[in-house]
Amino acid sequence: MFVPLAQSLVFGLLVGALYGLAAVGLSLVFGVTKFLNVAHGELLMLGGYASFWAFTLRGVDPFLTLPLTMVFLLVIGVVLYKLLFAHMVKLTEEAKIQNTLLVGFGLSLILQNVALRLWTADTRGITTSYSRMAFTFLGVRFPIVRVASLGIALIALFALDLFLRRTYTGKALRATVENWEAATLMGIDIQRVYLLSFVMGAALAGAAGCLVSVGYSIDPGMGMSWTLKGLIVMVLGGLGSFMGTFVGGIVLGVTESATGYFLTLTYREVVGLVLFILVLVFRPQGLFGTKER
Amino acid sequence: MLKLSGINAAYKDLQVLWDVSIQVDEGELVALVGSNGAGKTTTLRVISGLLKPASGSISFQDHSLGKESAHRIVELGISQVPEGGKIFTGMSVLENLELGAFVARARKDKDQTLKWVYEIFPRLEERKNQRAGTLSGGERQMLAIGRALMSKPKLLLLDEPSFGLAPILVEQIFEMITEINRQGVTVLLVEQNVRAALELAHRAYVIENGRIVGQGTGEDLLSFESVRRAYLG
């Protein structure tokens, strides 16, 4: 009884870290720009394919390509932002959300179909020489690759936190989240802050995609479900706290696998949505968010 | 130093300012007074670049501000304390002040300016590590002014610094404003508290329904019959 349950909770925790990482990117972009980029999952998918092809064609280790994948997505982020999002900066918050939803859905369809065309619908994954390695603790298996992914997700998160707290640019970003008009009056060029947060979000999606491709599997249609997980986690964790968002990811991962264990796997996907509704009804500021002041 | 001539400005289709002309000379403390909704805040928003005028010209020193973006205007030396302060409540007092010195011109002298701001507002130094959201109303206003000073402005725009404060605090804040002006910062003060503003200012403009309807020295306006009747009761 203990081992299978613990095992499934551990797997939940490990996948939850990736939910968290995906959601942090989404939440960063939304928090600063109020752009709800529903193509975030597709960016993650592109990150996954980038490391998959680097590994398959060149044999480069996915953990080594991770920074490159992030840079690659950063560049894609710049292009997408300039092309599709930049002109929406001046809109009201509500109009921004609506417009970006539309643009994001369109973009996600395009990216999915381009991926389908270029790389077929096959499910892919990276199998390295150490992919099957795991260590066992109290009878519970910890696959090395997924544990490393958890570590990397944590490092990315701490780096982000440090950036936001310690650097002038990071503070400018937080100021823009609180009040963009007051931020402008500080002499902060909020257009640049918007661009920066958007591309940082894209880079985080790239990192998450890379980790998904090595610990799990990727396919052209994966984006939508990752965006959905990201949205659920974002609401679960609450806006404004990236650590909270990350923990929210782990909560979702663990809840999903507990559901899979006690009920059946079919209910796994449903539980996230149930959680989503419960949080919205009983704690709309999220598990770790603060109420509007 | 600052010159607005023939400014017309509108929010979407609603015109708020009509042919507004104002001048502020270096070293002056000028007040812009008028009732709620007269166009005072809009005038400041036009100067700081948050709202682009439909027509008219604005110049600051030798620069034309009409096409400059708001963040560039801060770099040029104009800093606005927005209505209600709009401090960053989730950040510490010190972080708020640091953000005030965001522009390159101010950032290099940040530590020195910080000392100066702490001299004017010792309370802010006592509270520097506190979250700004925990400050009292008066302290928030001090922080908002201190934050604006951190950008080493040549011209300081103040939007209703007395708003929502107890009379004793209003007096304190106004004393501090006089002191800041005495130290060489030109001030344009927008106020609903007409008597206090007119007593403080070297010169003042009266704005009504988006039009400048009177100007003169503070003393002149205080004795002006129509001003007395309209604002001083």
pLDDT tens track for A162-208: 999 999 999 999 999 999 999 999 999 999 999 999 999 999 999 99
| Mean of the per-residue pLDDT values of chain B | 93
Domain boundaries, chain A: 13-223
Q: What share of chain B is helix, strand, coil (3-state, %, to 5)?
A: 40, 25, 30
Residue B216 or A284, more confident: B216
Neighbouring CB atoms inside 10 A of A70's CB total: 23
Residue B71 has its nearest CB partner, among A174, A178, A188, at A188
Give Cβ neighbours of residue B54 (< 8 Å, ≥ 6 apart). B8, B9, B10, B15
Residue A1 or B223, more confident: B223
B70 and A182 within 8 Å at the Cβ level: the answer is: no
The answer, yes or no, to whether residue B139 has pLDDT greater than 70, is yes
Hey, is B62 helix, strand or coil? coil
CB A221, CB A121: distance < 8 Å = yes
d(CA B117, CA B147): 8
Give Cβ neighbours of residue B168 (< 8 Å, ≥ 6 apart). none
| A-B C-beta contacts closer than 8 Å | 65
The answer, yes or no, to whether residue B171 has pLDDT greater than 60, is yes
The answer, for B133 touching chain A at a CB cutoff of 8 Å, is yes
Residue ranges of domains in chain B, CATH in brackets: 2-77+154-232 (3.40.50.300), 87-147 (no CATH)
- pLDDT > 70: percent of chain A: 98
- pLDDT > 70: percent of chain B: 98
Residue A252 is encoded by which pair of tokens?
A: 């979702």
pLDDT in tens, A78-115: 999 999 999 998 888 899 999 999 999 999 999 999 99
Residue A179 has its nearest CB partner, among B86, B107, B151, at B86
Beta bridge partners of A124: A218
Beta bridge partners of B187: B29, B156
Residue B80 has its nearest CB partner, among A174, A178, A185, at A185
Distance from CA of B75 to the nearest CA of A (A): 6
Residue A100 is encoded by which pair of tokens?
A: 């970006």
A175 and B99 within 8 Å at the Cβ level: the answer is: yes
The answer, yes or no, to whether residue B21 has pLDDT greater than 80, is yes
Q: What is the mean pLDDT of residues A2-15?
A: 91
Look at residue A95 in the predicted model and tell me its pLDDT. Answer: 92
Give Cβ neighbours of residue A204 (< 8 Å, ≥ 6 apart). A21, A22, A24, A25, A28, A70, A156, A160
B71 and A174 within 8 Å at the Cβ level: the answer is: no
pLDDT in tens, B26-69: 999 999 998 888 999 999 999 999 999 999 999 999 899 988 99
d(CA A130, CA A147): 12
The answer, yes or no, to whether residue A143 has pLDDT greater than 50, is yes
Neighbouring CB atoms inside 10 A of A270's CB total: 12
d(CA A203, CA A201): 5
Reading phi first (left if > 0) and then psi (alpha if -120 to 50, else beta), residue B55 is in beta
Distance from CA of B92 to the nearest CA of A (A): 11
pLDDT in tens, B77-135: 999 999 999 999 999 999 999 999 999 999 999 999 999 999 999 999 999 999 999 99
d(CA B33, CA B82): 16
Cβ contacts of A178 on chain B, cutoff 8 Å: 88-91
Distance of CA A286 to the CA centre of its chain: 17
The answer, for B149 touching chain A at a CB cutoff of 8 Å, is no
B69 and A189 within 8 Å at the Cβ level: the answer is: yes
The answer, yes or no, to whether residue A144 has pLDDT greater than 70, is yes
The answer, yes or no, to whether residue B224 has pLDDT greater than 80, is no
Instruction: Give burial (CB, 10 Å; 0-12/13-18/19+) of A131.
Output: middle
d(CA A243, CA A272): 19
Identify each DSSP E strand in B130-210 by its residue range: 155-159, 186-191, 203-208
pLDDT grade for A293, boundaries at 50, 70 and 90: very low
Look at residue B37 in the predicted model and tell me its pLDDT. Answer: 87
The answer, yes or no, to whether residue B214 has pLDDT greater than 70, is yes
The answer, yes or no, to whether residue A291 has pLDDT greater than 70, is no
pLDDT grade for A290, boundaries at 50, 70 and 90: low
B82 and A182 within 8 Å at the Cβ level: the answer is: yes
The single residue listed with the structure tokens 């390159």 is B104
Helical ranges in B10-62 per DSSP H: 40-47
| Mean of the per-residue pLDDT values of chain A | 92
Look at residue B228 in the predicted model and tell me its pLDDT. Answer: 73
Distance from CA of A38 to the nearest CA of B (A): 28
d(CA B33, CA B35): 7
Closest chain B residue to A183 measured between Cα atoms?
Answer: B99
CB B50, CB B56: distance < 8 Å = no
| Of the candidates A84, A53, A30, the residue with the CA atom closest to the CA atom of residue A209 | A53
- pLDDT > 90: percent of chain B: 84
